[in-house]
Amino acid sequence: MLRFNFQNDDSNLNRQGAARHLSDTEFIENEIKRFLASERRRNMITGIQYYRGKHDILHRRREMIGAEGKLEEVKNLPNNRIVDNQYKKMVDQKTNYFLGQPFTVQTDSDRYSKLLKNIFTRKFLRLLKNVGENSFNCGIGWLFIHYNDTGDLTFKRLKPYEVIPGWADEEHSRLDYAIRIYEVVDGSGRDEKIVQKVEVYHASGISRFVFDGAKLKPDPAFPAHEPYFIMGDEGYNWERLPLIPFKYNSDEIPLILNVKSLQDGLNLILSNFQNNMEEDSRNTILVIINYDGENLGEFRKNLATFGAVKTRSVDGAKGGVEALQVEVNAENYKAIIEVFRKAIIENAMGFDAKEVQLGRQSNEMNIQSMYSDVDLDANKMETEYQASFEDLLYFVNLHLANMGAGDFEGEEVEITFNRDMLMSESDAITNVKNSLGILSNETLLAQHPWVDDVQIEKSRIESEKTQARKEQEAQQYGDAFNQL
């Protein structure tokens, strides 16, 4: 039977391995400083910022070469900052494709299956989808397992750019410790201020501090050290760290690194196109002949204010104003914009549903071809998520065992991620019919496009069969009595 690892709440961090270092606050301080300044964390924040529409183009300035040969900002020219957020579209597309549908839990034990369904509720499915979004934006997502105030097993999503993992191996499959640094608003004084809190997860529980930017100090709002949870008057810790990583890929590389330069290029082309379209005779290059005024600033002001300027004739030469016309070929811009959008889709390993005319070509081969890239990427991600669910089930089984629900430690569980793929229902139904007698009815039900839950559908079929049998028996015996 699985059991909790009981530890007295003595604040002793001098355990084996990396935990020995955690007794030294200087070690934790250095880890925090290194992480806050790391390129890895910057990439995570960039992924989240781009998903929210905060792209580099929003900080763009129009510049020109000044009198000293250096670039200077020009504020009297159009400076559009357009964001066409194809990156967000790719993240949403891939997240919904992989986690848009409820995953299926299959096990030989009906009791175990029902218990897991009570834990993996729709609320958990929503949480897992948000973790998947973190996986794409940051390369990794985190799920923290704990008990709430009512004693229920609860899952909490942690922001990836707040978590510093201390891996026990080069494959990043086991944690020795983890440090979380996050910001809270302290309104206890007259003025609100941002405070950086620190939580250190290790084998002996959780240690809490406040970080002032250089040093760690005790957190006055919490005890210096606590076990992971308390049952009765006893403090308990898990035998493993209750922190589960959900990786986008084995190298934990965020999706933004594959497409950022392309997304920036698309934004720049669109912004330049609008700038060029707005540069008319009132703000573009003009050739002035015999202008009846003092300086160019006055000329621009008169042109912008009145839409007209005064010229004069000098020695028989008539005055005038001519604009240097720069042709803006919209077709060229459209072609470049299309190239960028397709490149973003290809490098993000997504799909463009507009390329397939489903109304005329809704066969299975065309649909599979459209989904080939996103499906290949989802296969790699599913491998990582399957491993994460193994770790997650360890804590679930431990919880069930100690709650007296049963020991399911050796029970086989298959987690199937049902991908949200467009499909030809007629082809799928035909394939199911053609497989009757070759495959089990349960397998065929799982592949039918109209079936969401195999167990529920099996129960419905059995209920209908029972009802039909009763009606047939009632009719048969009723006819017999009528004959008498």
Q: Is the pLDDT of residue 233 over 90?
A: no
Kindly state whether residue 332 falls inside one of the protein's structural domains: no
Residue 284 pLDDT > 80 = no
Closest CA to 75 of 304, 309, 283: 283
Residue 316 DSSP one-character state: T
Show Cβ contacts of residue 32 under 8 Å, excluding neighbours closer than 6 positions: 164, 179, 181, 198, 211
Statement: the pTM of the whole predicted model exceeds 0.85 = no
Number of compact structural domains in the chain: 2
**Residue 78 and residue 17 in one domain:** yes
86-99 and 256-278 helices cross at what angle (nearest 10)? 140
Q: Is residue 305 part of a domain?
A: no
Identify whether residues 236 and 177 lie together within a single domain.
Answer: yes
Task: Say whether both 207 and 229 belong to one domain.
Answer: yes
Q: What is the separation of C-alpha 91 from the centre of its chain, rounded to a whole number of angstroms?
A: 6
Q: Work out the percent of the chain whose per-residue pLDDT is above 70.
A: 79
Domain extent, residue 477, equals: 424-483
| Tokens read off for 357 | 């005319």
Q: What is the C-alpha to C-alpha distance for residues 67 and 337, in angstroms, rounded to an integer?
A: 35
Return the SS3 of 240.
Answer: coil
> Which of 367, 386, 414 is the last residue in one of the domains?
414
The predicted structure's pLDDT at residue 210 = 95
Asked which of 414, 437, 468 is the last residue of a domain, the reply is 414
Domain stop point among 388, 414, 440: 414
pLDDT-based confidence at residue 16 (cuts at 50, 70, 90) = very low
Considering the domain boundaries, does residue 400 fall inside one? yes
pLDDT tens string 67-76:
677 888 888 7
Distance of CA 210 to the CA centre of its chain: 29
In a domain, 355, yes or no: no
Please tell me whether residues 470 and 452 are part of one structural domain: yes
In a shared domain, residues 397 and 455: no
* pLDDT tens, residue by residue, 316-373: 667 676 665 656 678 889 999 999 999 999 999 999 877 655 454 556 677 777 888 9
Residue 115 included in any domain: yes
The phi, psi pair for 155, rounded to 5°, reads: -120, 135
